[in-house]
Amino acid sequence: MSKKIKLFFIISSVLLLSFSCQKEKEKSNKFVTQDVHNFYDMLSQIENATSLNDTLKILNESYLQKASIGLKDYLEYEKSSNNRDIEQEYLKIIRSFPKYFKSQKPLLSDIENQLDEFDKYFQKIKEVYPDAKFQSTYFSIGFFNTQGQMVYPKTIFMGLEASIRTDKTDYSEFPENYSWLVDDPSTINDLGYLVVHENLHTLQQIKANENSILDQAITEGAAVFLTEHFCGQESLVGIAGIDQDMIDYAGKNRTEIWTEFGTDLKNPENFSKWFWSTNSKYPYSMGYYMGYMICKSFYENQKDKQDAIKKLIVINDPKFIFEHSQFKKFAE
């Protein structure tokens, strides 16, 4: 074999290997968008429906029965945990917000072409934690009940109907109780931060005890802190992080809130005071902020920063993170 031919085969082999590695790298962060296209195909068919039975038949055959694994897992969670009637939930939003979905179609139908930037965040995580194995992320259309979440054990579901917008999004049909959506300025960048936040939960090695304020604060706080660490400070306030009213409240009531938090760690019956309750005297889900501050303090207090990041990624011992932070100083 001549040197030129041999060189050609060597170069070809290198290029082929490089291409194969690149394809494999893309597979490690798979983004699934089929539900979005199925949803808009379903809407176009429903325009010709002549009865409720026709509408429900199209909804089921063209969307629900074609659901991705992620959408199926999410809908099953909503049925079992929140007793949702899935057909009625979708029927409600289809009838109530046709202008909204029409205005969002150019943005949502092109979603796969807007996701390439997200991969850089995952590469940063793998630089620190090479063992990270990311799950598929499912971009779907729900019924305005979540912007995105991890469905246990490791399904990443993104509700695009509630998580991104443009200046052409039409909110004219929404009643006052949807102000949380109408006033939310989230963009495609914020969606990327949320995707990272939820994927970080899949790397955590502990499932938070249902009634443990500490476990929940650390698992959520770590995801918020690490999203900021890998994506930048702009991710901190928004759908992937904490709310500005948490920061403002803590700034005005620092000693009180940290003293009460420390006391409540021994009182799991006060869990709803810190997480997912509109009846708390604190800003909604204030526990995210408390956990974020603890994890940030832990990181700043460690000499080996890379090891600290690894510990915050895997979260196999929330108590260790807590005890090696400067938590007590927050209440001074």
Could you tell me if 90 and 163 lie in one domain?
yes
- Please tell me the predicted confidence (pLDDT) of residue 12: 44
Mind listing the pLDDT tens digit for each residue in 195-208? 999 999 999 998 76
Quick one: which of 158, 191, 162, 194 has its CA closest to 178? 162
Tell me if 18 is assigned to some domain: no
Mind listing the pLDDT tens digit for each residue in 227-261? 999 999 999 999 999 999 999 999 999 999 999 99
Distance CA 24, CA 182 (A): 39
Mind listing the pLDDT tens digit for each residue in 74-92? 999 999 999 999 999 999 9
Could you tell me if 183 and 280 lie in one domain?
no
**329 compared with 184, residue with greater pLDDT:** 184
Q: Which two tokens stand for residue 270?
A: 């006060």
- Other beta carbons less than 10 A from residue 262's beta carbon: 14
Residue written as token pair 């029409």: 102
Domain that holds residue 228: 213-330
Could you tell me if 181 and 297 lie in one domain?
no
Domain boundary among 144, 173, 203: 203
Could you tell me if 265 and 173 lie in one domain?
no
Q: Which two tokens stand for residue 149?
A: 């979440």
On whether the pTM is more than 0.85, the answer is yes
Quick one: which of 141, 117, 119 has its CA closest to 68? 141
**Window from 132-141, 144-153, 203-212 with minimum mean pLDDT:** 203-212
Q: Which two tokens stand for residue 191?
A: 């969606």
User: Mean pLDDT for the chain?
Assistant: 90
- Please tell me the predicted confidence (pLDDT) of residue 208: 67
Query: Which of the four pLDDT bands, split at 50, 70 and 90, describes residue 154?
Result: confident
- Please tell me the predicted confidence (pLDDT) of residue 22: 43
Residue 201 DSSP label = H
